[in-house]
Chain A
Amino acid sequence: MYIYDAFDRRLLAERVVEFRDQVSRRLSGELSEEEFKPLRLMNGVYLQLHAYMLRIAIPYGTLSTLQLRKLAEIARKYDRGYGHFTTRQNIQFHWIKLAELPDAMAELASVGMHGMQTSGNNVRNITTDQWAGVATDEIEDPRIWAELIRQHVTLHPEFSFMPRKFKIAVGASDRDRAALRIHDMALRLHRNAAGETGFEVMVGGGLGRTPYLAQTIKPFLPQRDVLSYVEAVLRTYNQFGRRDNIWKARIKILVHDLGAEPFAKEVDAEWQSIKDGALALEPTMVADIAGRFRYPDYEKLDDGPPELARTRRNDRGFDAWLGNCVTNHKVPGYAIVTVSLKPEGGTPGDCTAAQMDKLADLADRYSFGEVRVGHEQNLALPHVAQRDLPALWRKLDAIGLAQTNVNLISDIISCPGLDYCSLANARSIPIAQEITRRFHDLDRQRKLGRLHINISGCINACGHHHVGHIGILGVEKNGEEFYQITLGGKADENATLGTLVGPAVPYAQVADVVEDIAAAYLDLRDKPDELFIDTVKRVGIEPFRERVYAAR
């Protein structure tokens, strides 16, 4: 966990006072909606179809149980008893009342949480690997760098009115669990040939109506230079990014139009003028941030305790859950547990207040009081002793949080779609729900193996459909919901954008199409362990197209 200091606490408290005044003036009519809208957006308050929505940042996806219980309390007291975890390590409450928002924000501030920069044309919540600090394959904890950048860009006046929003992700492993290449800017910690640790800098990624993968503009950036280089990228974007057309305003358009190399030269010119100034990081500054991340006082344990093997032998359900939801930890005797928020027939990413409270209890007992949020809309308990896994599994199962479907076809990423969102053209959630019902049989899911379905209800692509192994995009045709299907996308270290299979299909046929694609894969794969995504890569989309459209 990261421990906020007095400066952070004062900033949040002052922000609540300011927002309370703004809300009061809006309700009295002193502020018009035109005047108020940019103010509420700066605090993460949107207006959706039926109500206001509050989006709260969960920096680098790390939550304390104190914070999780507070989110449960917010859900219960100010909303309708649940929250929705998003694809950018945020949580949204969809039914919040304007007059009550200042009180809700004051409660959030009491545990160091807020909605600042979860909306608006600024640097959004900085995301990272949800296994940061515990993954076996990371170079070092990427959250230290995410926090450094977060502190620098929070309420930074120069970066509060950029051409468009700006999303940064930080990773520290060869395996990309943070979808780096689909971000405006991404930093990947790695070691160079000399054994020094630095960052690969990627820019210009993004989905939406013009999807691009980020391109590397600096293969190795020393750690001391990370703030100055981020600043140089933001300044270059601020100067040259388009402000005349909202659809061409993201940095991805600038990088594409200018070319990655010329863009990098512009950045470099700016960087040379600031790199040895106030933003050059002294080791003491980094050490200060790192020192405020607290790590658990782990016990000295061995991997593979006997009770684990015994329960695996005796309980097939536990064995399946262990194989699917539990990952190796960098400390011997411990494990990372992914908690799926994708129940059959449920809404991807939704979690009730009662589940949050109970999960907080379990995290206190089994995970040193810490919970993580991943961009796949699942949660994780990052520090579970392996000997405790059987007990934890039973308790998760009792609260509906022991689904054994992580990375399987029912582990669907989905935006809220037309059921909530004022930008959406079509519904996403019912499509996800129907697919999970069709594939409810776990053996069938396991036979299909790793298969990611991502669904967006409009071209803004909050459901990351371009990088789903199967991507589903809702569109409107003559007042009816239709869905375009793409295949072959992925957001990992070999990120790829999916390819459109063919004409859009109506709402009622989407689950049938997914069944056809799944059946085609089973016929086409050359061996049982060839993953869906690898089969698509090997055979192309034509055989899938034939199967999908033969009968339509």
Chain B
Amino acid sequence: MTSPLDQKKIKIAGPVVVTANRVDDGAVVYRSPDGGWTTELGGAAIVIDADSARALAEAAAGDDLHAIGPYIAPVELLPGGNVRPGNLRELIRRAGPTIELPAPLES
């Protein structure tokens, strides 16, 4: 899975979003069309060319107060207008660990 640390050049092979982690709690957020951030992938601004992706990422990088480390991530557009992450790393970021988290054993 491509780490954002390795994302040096912008190559777009399909629809993408800009994603980051929220400053307050590290939660996964997506850049929204209104220049804010949303935790819902469905509310993310989706672009399909490198210039638009770069512009979206640069604008996102300017909002250091709310989000950390914005980068461009692929998405898939599904029938009916739904969106899903384009690779396993992004799937896990969106949905959480693929494993069952420990169930607290109450006293």
Contacts and interface: CB of A to CB of B under 8 A. Distances in A.
Interface of A: 26-27, 29, 32-34, 47-52, 76, 80-82, 97-99, 346-347, 350-355, 357-358, 399-400, 418-420, 422-427, 429-430, 433, 476, 479, 481
Query: Most B CB atoms within 10 A — which of A426, A427, A481?
Result: A427
Nearest to A45: B26
Contacts of A479: 1, 87-88
Contacts of B87: 479
A120 to B, nearest CB: 17
B68 A47 contact: yes
B88 A481 contact: yes
Interface string B56-96: 00000000110011000000000000000001110011001
B68 A476 contact: no
B106 A420 contact: no
A96 to B, nearest CB: 8
A51 B27 contact: yes
Interface of A is mostly: mixed
13 contacts: A27-B23, A29-B65, A32-B64, A33-B23, A47-B26, A48-B26, A82-B104, A97-B25, A98-B25, A419-B99, A423-B5, A424-B1, A430-B99
Contacts, number: 99
A427 B93 CA distance: 13
B98 A400 contact: no
Contact of B101 (A80, A354, A425): A80
Given A49-B89, A52-B25, A353-B104, 7 more contacts: A49-B92, A99-B25, A350-B102, A355-B105, A418-B92, A419-B98, A476-B2
Contacts of B105: 352, 354-355, 358, 399-400
Given A354-B105, A422-B3, A433 B99 contact: yes
A45 to B, nearest CB: 10
B61 to A, nearest CB: 10
A27 B65 CA distance: 7
B20 to A, nearest CB: 10
Contact of A97 (B5, B24, B68, B93): B24
B104 A352 contact: yes
A420 B102 CA distance: 14
Interface residues on B, range: 20 to 34
Interface string B33-72: 0000000000000000000000000000000110011000
Contact of B89 (A99, A355, A418): A418
Given A47-B69, A49-B92, A419-B97, A476 B1 contact: yes
A98 B26 contact: yes
A81 B3 CA distance: 28
B104 A418 contact: no
B25 A51 contact: yes
Contacts of B24: 27, 97-99
A422 B21 CA distance: 11
Q: Ordered nearest first, which 8 A-B pairs have the shortest CB separation?
A: A419-B97, A354-B105, A51-B26, A81-B104, A97-B25, A82-B102, A52-B26, A29-B65
Nearest to A424: B1
Contacts of A27: 23-24
A350 B68 CA distance: 28
A428 B67 CA distance: 28
B101 to A, nearest CB: 6
Contacts of B103: 352
Contacts of A352: 102-105
Contacts of B104: 76, 81-82, 352-354
B28 interface: yes
Nearest to A31: B64
Contact of B102 (A47, A81, A357): A81
A68 B1 CA distance: 36
Contacts of B27: 50-51
A430 B98 CA distance: 8
